[in-house]
Amino acid sequence: DGFPAVKLFNQGYSYTYDDVIFLPHYIDFATDSVQLNTKLTKNISLSIPCVSSPMDTVTESYMAVAMAYLGGIGILHSNNTPSEQFALLESAKSRRIPFVSDFEVKSPADVIELSDFGYGTVILVTDTGSRKSRVLGYVLKSVWVNLKNKDGRVCDYMSKLDYSVPSSYHLDQIAGFLGDKGVKLVPTVRESDGEVVDVMTLEDIEKFQEYPKRGLPSLTPNGDFLVGAAIGTRDSDKQRLEYLVKGGVDAVVLDSSQGNSIYQLDMIKYIKKTYPGLDVIGGNVVTAYQAQNLIQAGVDGLRVGMGSGSICTTQEVCAVGRGQATAVYKVSSIASKSGVPVIADGGISNSGHIVKALVLGASTVMMGSYLAGSTEAPGAYVVQDGRRLKKYRGMGSLEAMTKGSDQRYLGDKSKLKIAQGVVGAVADKGSILKFVPYAMHAVKQGFQDLGASSLQSAHELLRSEVLRLEARTGAAQAEGGVHGLVSYEKKAF
């Protein structure tokens, strides 16, 4: 019944995730016993198969820390100067808690207005009003709104505070400190430069404890979070890489939309020679031929996808690419022979897509839009028509390229910029600490339906043709989605 993958994907069609569907198999284990632990590269293991995309509206230090806390990894984008990217890496490496604290800083002589609180609930008062000077006190929004005289200077009514904890403290150490001292909040301060990193409250800690179960965090032997970073393939990227290696980067991604190029092959060889211990992820590729070249050059991981991203226009602009299901299957079939893990990059918009990518041979999925709009994504929320939105843009969009990401889309220093991506916005999704564990549970259920108790078992079942799949017609896809309902207002019932 159904088709083995090798037959379905060799008929001359380019299939994407929605085009194909797996036939259910036999269940003889519980959902919770499904293991999603996997490999990012030959040498880096993760407890969940999730990677955040190196895009400037997706992965900066907060996202990288939260991804590693969940058991995945974040790849810091490179649409910045080498020192800015180094600062993101340093910040991610110095944190032990995945916390996005919205707090403002004032000096004692300042006067506060309601808007000064931003989205946060606390204003910290420091000597000079900078995050790098001595903390003197704080003002809680809840206290401030009830003050009779709000026009006075901050130092006249702030609560005094003369303690802090190192930013290398773990959640339970901070909870212990707050409990022992009997205080409401504590700033966490980076030891290396004295900068205030977060302001933690007991409520924050309780909130964490309510989040769903997650995998083991991705940590180095030193106890800091695993963090990846993107670089390009120009000579100037060698200097960028030198910085990143100093900052302790754990893997580098050569960020290119068509990775099978002389520039990338030379860069892989250079990195392997100069930093033999550093794992290199090459790509992007979508064919066995492209993959083979990068594998021979020595990559430790392959990133697969061309034009499948939600903000991509590469296939339309350049007429090149491949349906993502076909691309993942074809590249994984070759890469698995050399033990090179595959990252299925782009086109993930639900947990079913994650299941399909993983079963078709990928070891991890890389996500942009799925994680954009979350608390941990860079950028501020804007409110439009009553909805909170965050910007999400393609790195090949004119807007992003104006900032510098053009080298991903141009092999040379062409002056004409051709957009291969668009700029948009996505709705507020809340914290990834909340929704990624749910998605992982849904993925486990998908694996259970297929009778696959792990990624390795899924790959084996696919290879041995036990797992079967079919292409879906347009009508079958419509049937598989929500249909036949009309929208209604809750109060109507």
Cα 312 → chain centroid:
17
Q: Which CB sits closer to ligand XMP, 54 or 217?
A: 54
Do 67 and 74 form a contact (C-beta atoms < 8 A)?
Answer: yes
Task: Check binding of 79 to ligand XMP (CB under 6 A).
Answer: no
- In degrees and rounded to multiples of 5, residue 121 shows phi and psi of -115, 5
Name the minimum Å distance from CB 370 to ligand XMP: 6
d(CA 292, CA 265): 11
Would you say 362 and 344 are in contact if contact means Cβ atoms under 8 Å apart?
A: yes
Rounded Cα distance between 217 and 395, Å, is 28
Residues 227, 241, 281, 312: which binds ligand XMP (CB under 6 A)? 312
Residues in 222-261 that interact with ligand XMP by CB under 6 A: 257
- Which of 121, 126, 293, 310 is in the footprint of ligand XMP by CB under 6 A? 310
Q: Which helix (H) or strand (E) holds 304?
A: strand 301-304
Nearest-approach distance from CB 459 to ligand XMP, in angstroms: 22
Query: Shortest approach of ligand XMP to residue 19 CB, angstroms?
Result: 16
Q: Which positions from 266 to 305 touch ligand XMP by CB under 6 A, shown as an x/- string? A: ------------------x--------------------x
Tokens 């929605």 correspond to what residue? 18
Chain residues 38-77 in contact with ligand XMP, contact rule CB under 6 A: 53, 55
Residue type, 154: V
Helix (H) / strand (E) element for 285: namely strand 279-285
Beta partners for residue 427, in sequence order: 389
CB count in 10 Å sphere of residue 338: 13
* Whether 39 contacts 46, CB under 8 Å: yes
Asked if 455 contacts 48 with a C-beta cutoff of 8 angstroms, the reply is no
**Count of residues near ligand XMP by CB under 6 A:** 26
Q: Which of 74, 217, 282, 307 binds ligand XMP (CB under 6 A)?
A: 307
Select which of 312, 322, 393, 468 is catalytic.
312
Nearer to ligand XMP, 122 or 312 (CB): 312
| Residue list 394-453, contact with ligand XMP (CB under 6 A) | 394-397, 420-421
Q: Which helix (H) or strand (E) holds 448?
A: helix 432-450
Q: Which residues pair with 216 in a beta bridge?
A: none
Stretch that binds ligand XMP, among 159-167, 206-214, 342-350, 433-441 (CB under 6 A): 342-350
Catalytic residue among 240, 303, 408, 468: 408
In the bound state with ligand XMP, the residue whose beta carbon lies nearer, of 250 and 345, is: 345
What is the nearest approach in angstroms of ligand XMP to the Cβ of residue 343? Answer: 9
Question: Quick check: is 408 catalytic?
Answer: yes
CA dist 456 and 332 (Å) reads: 13
DSSP string, 194-229: --EEEEEEHHHHHHHHHSPP-----B-TTSPBP-EE
Quick one: 201 or 369, whose CB is closer to ligand XMP? 369
- Asked if residues 306 and 368 have their Cβ atoms less than 8 Å apart, the reply is no
Choice between 215 and 394, CB closer to ligand XMP: 394
Residue 339 phi/psi, 5° resolution?
70, 30
Residue number of the CB atom closest to ligand XMP: 421
Q: Which stretch binds ligand XMP (CB under 6 A): 20-28, 80-88, 237-245, 341-349?
A: 341-349
Residues within window 18-37 making contact with ligand XMP, judged by CB under 6 A: none
Q: Which of residues 360-379 bind ligand XMP (CB under 6 A)?
A: 366-370
Quick one: which of 154, 199, 302, 348 contacts ligand XMP (CB under 6 A)? 348
Q: Which of 62, 80, 86 is nearest to 379 (CA)?
A: 62
Nearer to ligand XMP, 71 or 373 (CB): 373
Known catalytic residues?
Answer: 312, 408
User: Interface with ligand XMP by CB under 6 A: which residues?
Assistant: 53, 55, 257, 284, 305, 307, 309-312, 314, 345-348, 366-370, 394-397, 420-421
